[in-house]
Amino acid sequence: MLEHVRPDIRIVAVREFLQSDMRTGEIDLDRTRRLLAAIVNDSMQRGVYRVMIDARGNPTGLSTPDIVELVAGAHSLGFTPRHRVAILRVRPEALQRAKYIGALASSRGFNVRAFDDYETALAFLNEDLGPA
């Protein structure tokens, strides 16, 4: 059963914040960090602490050190332990990387999980929420 998206859940496509250098094609972590921080800040101002990062069909190009750097700096981006983040991936190798991100973030006190199914990810975000 397909659940509806509540107004207190935000869905963000990776392309909204993942930026690359036009000349080299490499990920521009500084620009990516700034855009992700702006998304988090905007969400918090609206009282939204549940976020789905939809990375289906988007190869991120993030290396493991890039992932570690972004997760390690999650506090400075505005993420708090109050946030609940679902990372949605479909390809098995991408799902493994998303699970790694989730485990790394969880070890730093964040509630992050990876999913390969939209409805399951949405159910995770809806857990413990009262009526919309």
Q: Which domain holds residue 29?
A: 9-126
Is there a domain that residue 1 lies in?
no
Q: Is 4 among the domain residues?
A: no
The answer to whether residue 82 sits within a structural domain is: yes
Q: What is the pLDDT of residues 41-70, one digit of tens each?
A: 888 888 889 988 888 766 656 666 676 677
Of 40, 28, 8, nearest to 122 by C-alpha is: 8
Domain count, the chain: 1
Asked if residues 94 and 55 have their Cβ atoms less than 8 Å apart, the reply is yes
CATH number of residue 22's parent domain: 3.40.50
Residue 131 domain-assigned? no
Domain annotation covers residue 44: yes
pLDDT band for position 1 (cuts 50, 70, 90): very low
Residue 92 near residue 56 (C-beta atoms within 8 A): no
pTM tops 0.85, yes or no: no
pLDDT digits (tens, 9 = 90+) for 95-107: 677 778 778 888 8
Q: Could you tell me if residue 39 is inside a domain? A: yes
Tell me which residue of 14, 100, 6, 105 sits closest to 54, measured CA to CA.
Answer: 14
